Amino acid sequence: MKQHQNGTRRHASALCALSLTTLGAAGAAHAQATDDSTQTTKDDPLEQVVVTGSRIARTGFDTPSPVTVMGGDELRALSVTNIGAAVSQLPAFRASNNPTTNGFGSFNVGAQIVNLRALGVTRNLILVDGRRFAPTTREGSADLNLIPSMLIERTEIVTGGASAAYGSDAVAGVVNVILDKKLSGLRAQVDYGVSDESDGDNYHATLAGGSDYLGGRGHFVLGGEYEKQDGIGNCFVRDWCRPGAIVTNNGFNTPAGAGNGLPNFVRSDSNAGYWMTTGGVVSGAGNALLLSKLNEAGVIPSAAGMQFDGSGKPVAYTPGSLVSGITQIGGDIVPAYSDTNLIVPVKRYTLYGHTDVDLTDNVKGFFEASYGYVTGSVLQSAFFDTAITIRSGNPFIPAEIQSVMTQNNIASFTMGRLGDDLARGFSTSTADVYRATTGLNGKFGDTTWTWDAYYQYGKTKRLQTVEGNRIQGNPDPALANSPANPLNFARAVDAVLDTETVITPETGSIVCRATLSPDPALRAAAAGCVPLNLFGTGRFDPAARDYVYGTLREDIDIDQNVVAANTQGNVAELWAGPLVLAGGLEFRRDRIDVAHDPLSNLFAYFQNFGADYNGTTKVVEGYLEAELPLLRDRPGAHRLDLNVAGRHAHYDIDGFGSYLRTQVSNTIDANTWKASLSWEPLEGLRFRGTRSRDIRAPNFADLFLASASSFAPVVNRFANNAPQFPTTLSGGSPTLDAERADTTTFGVVVQPPWDWSRGLQLSVDYFDIEVDGYIAAPGAQLIVDRCFAGNQQACGLITFGAGQSITQVRNVSVNLDQLATRGEDIELSYRVPFASGAGGELSMRLLASHVEESTTKTFGIAIDRAGQTGSLLSSGVPDWLLNAYVTYSRKPFSVTLQGRFIDSGVIDATRIDPSDPGYRPTLPNSTNDNHVASAFYANLFGTLDIPAFKDQQVQVFAVINNLFDKVPPFAPEGQYPTNPTYFDQIGRTYRLGARVQF
């Protein structure tokens, strides 16, 4: 299936050859150790090092909370062009939102949004220089595309709760990007990347410079970055991609197992896909009479099924043995993932400027501003229908079929059809993000007390569109025949000859039935309707397509204002050292306004983003932190420290939206705290532990988003398991409370002091996070099932009609039971300098994360997805994820080999296969094969310094990612054959570039 052309690999091969030449050096300088650093407090008292996770300045990275550091030199040596991509590769993260996972997404296309502990992108906090970065999505998350990589001094990641220090969202941890504000001279970099298949071209360039002014009292830094990532089409451009892999539901229309000896879920890696075609398919029990009569009349060779070829002629169709919803195994199939991008195209650029000046010996002022632009687009999967009603008399019906329908008094039949000849949704997301900060910091006289105060303004303007979005009307059954409901698709499909009525002059033309309605209001609503021919491929009138498809538009306007002040210093000199206090106050005002086109506000599209909403949140919070040294240089206690912190936050929330469509106010008061203990019984051995209470306040989408659909049926447990299509409302709930999390971490740090081991550092940390009252939409079917089981919270989300029919399900955001994750993080590093004769240095670093539990508990039902690596759309995590680096450096070159291991797992943690105890094919969660293989990827990095003029530094670098061209393990599910969150789909890629500094 791979598409080849003569010469397509020429520029990739040339780059490969040049890369291998350059790789007499490869390299990534190893990262700084998790807990120690050569950095110390600077002589300038206004430039003290403040370690993320604490507000208290320290002389080294010895915080009791685990902190992983990625230095700027390391990022440059690894040729990192995007800090979001680099952070997402760390074992504690899940790469949820990036250009390789947006293949069939629509929101925030191309964004780099990190997900720590797989707890969701909204449960980690992004800081820049210790200050909250401006929200760039309607969910309040931050896009790391907007931070210039050239100016990153280091990145610190706290892998544990930090709400007491920084406030809401720091449930899973914090990513703090520290920028280089002391850059002097000029830095520039250009680089280019491409895959081994000569696609996915990536162009990247950065430029930054800085200088003193006012005789050294002031300093400024300016920088910019540009990147253009070309997209890669569907997976059939790669040899590993198979056209027939999917998991189908054997028990979709019958009980589990279906009495055929097969399990409820059947995986096929070679013979499955959509049962619908672009030309249209007529099959199934509802069409049995028509198919039988067509077979008797000789129109089709078999009564099993019929499809239409490109010209609209009825031809044979073979249904599969297992048909479920939109997919089947066997028979005539269409690949289910032929439309999904491996990489979506993204373009971004950023500009950043910072200046600071010494106003007095003890007071410094600063101002900084940044602008970022990101745009990404994706061509979505085709629209599909499983049961389009075609009424007798439709002039597009082939004559031989119409004749049989007339003879046998068959009023209608249903057609299944893919709409990729009509239109495929084309999603584009564009964001402009502005940020400005100004403030002062200083010192109180000759004391140890320092202070800072700042004002920050951030603004995001995001436009999201979906072109080619089908207009099919509001799904509310009460509006089914309303003239106000834009039922364009249904009206265009229902074609007739206008000789059927005398409402208008007869012309014999094909028209939409609704234009001939005796109801003047319905005729007026259908004005402009053009009949749509669905028989065959591309046989429609372009005007009909234009009538049926439109462009969804969502304009998002977000702004944030922050005023904050902090202070810290020594309160008293105690028996083991100074008691240090830090405290501060912060006021934050976030505002959002989301506007849509008129059809979006009617929920009229096939794919809805929701209706208009707006909201304002005002937050006032204060915190206090204390560092108390308990013991120093005592037997069994070389060092013992206690750190405690507390924060109170008050939220005033006001807005319009949600399924209530009203103006609503809400208030939330939340207290967070932490207590940490660090014990060093002897030099080089340290134990640490932290217990904290953390929060996440609901974001604007949680509160005010409003949408509706009726795409999927629900099984009504109250009415003999009958499938029904109730209106399903989705979106926010304005009365939500904050999530509250309890986080426990404890671990050991080993840094042996002996000469032979001075480069050895080891840390092992256990983490346990429980989030109570987590905010999510449970899912319509789960709501029905749990209500049937007696859960009153679930029942409160359902509206029943006559005979216990279900008319409405409110699948909206609610405070649910619990999220829980626990496991261990391991970091090992070792640095070995060679004897002077050999020269150089060998360094090694291992980062590993072992997840023992990753549980979501909803309405009393708990699902543990630890070990699940096969489903992109759920929050599964591998049991083990490891990153290892080995670097040899000797001027003028360095070479690094990186290995990345993803443990084997399962497609879906809720299912069992024959390898599991208790397996029976009649179980509702049974499957024939739930296994996903492990994967190991090797990457090679290199740098080479080239002699240049005096005071100039030139370095070339090269990278080969996926060195051995490892293909991803197959894990078919839904619309994709593997999980791009963890597994590389692109294959071997190359990057070559150069840096200059002077």
CA separation for the pair 655, 732 (Å, rounded): 11
pLDDT classification of 22: cutoffs 50, 70, 90: very low
Residue at 164: amino acid letter: A
The helix/strand count (H/E) of the chain reads as: 13, 50
Dist. CA 925–CA 938, nearest whole Å? 36
**pLDDT reported for residue 60:** 36
Tens-place pLDDT, residues 228-246: 999 998 888 898 888 888 8
Q: Are 793 and 783 in contact (CB under 8 A)?
A: no
SS3 percent helix, strand, coil of the chain, rounded to 5, is 15, 45, 40
Position 38 scores a pLDDT of: 34
Q: What's the confidence (pLDDT) of residue 298?
A: 94
Task: Report residue 85: phi and psi, to 5°.
Answer: -65, -35
What confidence score (pLDDT) does residue 57 get? 64
What band does 150 get if pLDDT is binned at 50, 70 and 90? confident
Strands 880-890 and 806-812, sheet pairing = unpaired
**pLDDT at residue 707 in the model:** 83
Percent of the chain's residues with pLDDT above 90: 65
CB 315 within 8 A of CB 301: no
pLDDT by residue (tens digit) across 571-603?
999 999 999 999 999 999 999 999 999 999 999
- Quick one: 149 exposed, middle or buried, by C-beta within 10 A (0-12, 13-18, 19+)? buried
Contact 856, 875 (CB under 8 A): yes
Looking at residue 15, what is its pLDDT? Answer: 36
Instruction: Return the higher-pLDDT residue of 562 and 980.
Output: 562
- Residue 922: the pLDDT is 87
**With bands split at pLDDT 50, 70 and 90, how would you rate the model's confidence at 756?**
confident
Residue 966 is encoded by which pair of tokens?
């490892």
| Averaged pLDDT, 347-362 | 96
Q: How confident is the model at residue 33 (pLDDT cuts 50, 70, 90)?
A: very low
Q: Report pLDDT for 41.
A: 38
Residues in CB range of 623: below 8 A, 6 or more apart? 55, 164, 165, 583, 584, 645, 646, 647, 648
**Does 10 have pLDDT greater than 60?**
no
Q: What are 212's two structure tokens? A: 């003193």
Q: How confident is the model at residue 431 (pLDDT cuts 50, 70, 90)?
A: very high
Span 264-321, pLDDT tens digits = 888 888 888 888 999 999 998 899 999 999 999 999 998 899 999 999 999 999 998 8
130: left (phi over 0), alpha (psi -120 to 50) or beta: left
Of residues 80, 79, 54, the one with CA closest to residue 66? 54
Q: Are 674 and 691 in contact (CB under 8 A)?
A: yes
Helix axes of 399-407 and 288-296: crossing angle, nearest 10 degrees:
110
Q: Are 374 and 431 in contact (CB under 8 A)?
A: yes
Question: So what's the pLDDT on residue 292?
Answer: 95
| Choice among 316-330, 464-478, 979-993 with the minimum mean pLDDT | 316-330
Residue 765: name the closest of 750, 786, 751, 781 by CA: 750
pLDDT of residue 996: 94
Q: Which of 342, 519, 371 is nearest to 432 (CA)?
A: 371
Residue of higher predicted confidence among 32 and 293:
293
Q: How far apart are the C-alpha atoms of 639 and 677, rounded to whole Å? A: 11
φ and ψ at 755, to 5 degrees?
A: -60, -45
> pLDDT tens across 185-206, in order?
999 999 999 999 999 999 999 9
| Sheet-wide strand order for 281-283 | 314-316, 305-308, 281-283, 412-418, 384-391
Q: Is the pLDDT of residue 512 over 80?
A: yes
DSSP state letter for 704: H
- % the chain with pLDDT above 70: 91
Give the separation between CA 428 and CA 572, rounded to whole angstroms.
58
Confidence band (pLDDT; 50, 70, 90) for 177?
A: very high
Higher pLDDT among residues 556 and 23, named by residue: 556
Q: 11-15, 348-352, 694-698: lowest mean pLDDT where? A: 11-15
pLDDT tops 60 at residue 258? no
What pLDDT does residue 89 have? 87
Nearest to 770 by CA among 856, 689, 848: 856
State how far the alpha carbon of 171 is from the alpha carbons of 84, 166, 515, 529, 746, in Å.
Answer: 19, 10, 57, 52, 16
Instruction: Inform me whether the pLDDT recorded for 662 exceeds 70.
Output: yes
Residue 1 has pLDDT above 70, yes or no: no
DSSP string, 4-71: --TTTTHHHHHHHHHHHHHTTS---PPPPPSS--S----SSGGG--B-TT-SSB-SSS--SS-EEEEE
Q: Tens of pLDDT along 930-985?
A: 999 999 999 999 999 998 777 788 999 999 999 999 999 988 876 678 888 899 99
**Separation between Cα atoms, residue 383 and residue 119, nearest integer Å:** 31
Residue identified by tokens 């979005």 is 469
What span, in angstroms and rounded, lies between the C-alpha atoms of 806 and 233? Answer: 41
How far are the Cα atoms of 106, 107, 198, 496, 961 from residue 378, in angstroms, in the given order? 7, 10, 20, 37, 24
* Count of beta carbons in the 10 Å neighbourhood of residue 925: 17
- Per-residue pLDDT, averaged over 380-396, amounts to 90
Antiparallel, parallel or unpaired: β 893-902 and 841-858? unpaired
The bridge status of strand 893-902 relative to strand 931-932 is unpaired
Q: How far apart are CA 978 and CA 100, in angstroms?
A: 12
The tens digit of pLDDT for each residue in 884-928 reads 999 998 889 999 999 999 999 999 999 999 999 999 988 888 999
- Tell me which DSSP letter residue 576 carries: T
Question: Residue 466's pLDDT is what?
Answer: 94
Helix, coil or strand: residue 394: coil
d(CA 980, CA 986): 10
Q: Which of 45-49, 69-73, 111-115 has the lowest mean pLDDT?
A: 45-49
3-state secondary structure of 535: coil
Cα 55 from chain centre = 30
Angle subtended at Cα 511 by Cα 505 and Cα 516, rounded to the nearest 5 degrees = 55
The answer to whether residue 47 scores a pLDDT higher than 70 is no
Q: What per-residue confidence (pLDDT) applies to 334?
A: 87
Three-state DSSP string of 189-231: EEEEEEECCCCCCEEEEEEEEEEEEHHHCEEEEEEEEEEEECC
The one-letter amino acid code at 946 reads I
Task: Report CA Rg, the chain.
Answer: 31
Mean pLDDT on 154-178: 91
Q: Looking at residues 627-652, what average pLDDT do you find?
A: 95
Quickly state the pLDDT bin for 552 (edges 50, 70, 90): very high
- In the predicted model, what is the mean pLDDT of the chain? 88
Of the two residues 505 and 839, the one the predictor is more confident about is: 839
Amino acid of residue 545: R
Kindly tell me the sign of the dihedral angle through the C-alpha atoms of 654, 658, 662, 666: negative
